[in-house]
Amino acid sequence: MKKLWMAALCAVSLSHAATPPPPTTWKLATGYRAESFHTQNIMQFSRDVEQATRGKLVIQVHPNNTLAKLNDIAQAVAAGKAEAGETIMTSMVKDIPIAGADSIPFVVGSYQDAERLWKLQRPGMERHLASRGLKLLYTVPWPPQGLHSSKPIRGLSDFKGTQMRTYNQTTQRIAEMLGAHPVDVPMVDVGKALAEGRMDNMITSALTGVENKVWGAIKYYYEINAWFPKNVVFVSSKAFEALDPPARAMVMKAATDAESRGWVASQALAVNATEEMRSNGVRIERIPAELEQEIKRMGERFSREWVRSVGSEANAIFVPYYFK
């Protein structure tokens, strides 16, 4: 009898020893839809982390502004409302001016240049995020930003008085320079804003056009390749440091993989999205050469304003970008 009891006790304590501790769970907030390629990439990142840590770290993705609004995500993570987040880097420019370096018109004209710029921008971004209690994990660019319009654009006067959709300070300033009225519309509401007649044109990727099926109202798309903005994924330093060193290394490895995967996906989608716009009846055209010159001059004015207002940190990025 005594033996039986002993055996039963051993079995109980063994089963206790075999029960793994509950996983650490991170909530990751993003302002984009679950189907967006950025979010899909985050979901793969989350699966990779879960697999590498054997289920010890679970990252739950909360898409579509449900946990925090796109522009508030960095603050929400810093304040501990979520452990991790993704936002478009330019949403941080008020706090971290160099976050805007990737949205200066006509600086970057290709993915290669975008990558070069990111290498120069990354150390400063890491430092600024760290001082706000955030650890940068990775970035992925949106496809190049083009001009979508309901009417053909032949000259600067075609922008005058139009409702131009904006998504950050850069696009707002550009709308002002063009003499249009800026209308702030989150990416996920673009279809609705078009249907309600609240906007006539916008500068964003063809991919965002496709995701929002803009072809009911948008009839023209001009591939002006204005800039390549990036989304950035980060975690609270506190949550990151609470992991043991092997788990931290696994998160960083998964982040590096997510960055490479995302850059490749963005490039492939850029081509497909323009074709999809075309096959839905949107005319893909070139803007007249003279207008292109005028818009580029505006871009230069914008960069001058930007470098002047940001100062030495801007020079630290652009001097090597242009001269090395």
Binding site for ligand PCA (CB under 6 A): 88, 142, 167, 187, 204-205, 208, 229
Q: Closer CB to ligand PCA, residue 92 or residue 250?
A: 92
Task: Render the burial of 236-271: b for 16+ CB within 10 Å, e for the rest.
Answer: bbebbeebeeebeebbeebbeebbebbbebbbebbe
Q: Closer CB to ligand PCA, residue 139 or residue 204?
A: 204
CB of 38 to ligand PCA, least distance (A): 9
Task: State the DSSP code for 36.
Answer: S
CB of 145 to ligand PCA, least distance (A): 6
CB of 274 to ligand PCA, least distance (A): 12
Please provide residue 130's backbone torsions phi and psi, each rounded to the nearest 5 degrees. Answer: -60, -40
CA angle 163, 73, 108 (to 5 degrees): 60
CB of 237 to ligand PCA, least distance (A): 26
Q: Closer CB to ligand PCA, residue 142 or residue 159?
A: 142
- Cβ 29 vs Cβ 85: under 8 Å: yes
Among 166, 157, 278, smallest CA distance to 215 is for 278
Residue entry with tokens 């987040």: 85
- Cβ 181 vs Cβ 217: under 8 Å: no
CB of 31 to ligand PCA, least distance (A): 9
Q: Closer CB to ligand PCA, residue 237 or residue 267?
A: 267
Sequence-separated (6 or more) residues with CB below 8 Å from residue 65: 31, 186, 188
Q: Closer CB to ligand PCA, residue 40 or residue 208?
A: 208
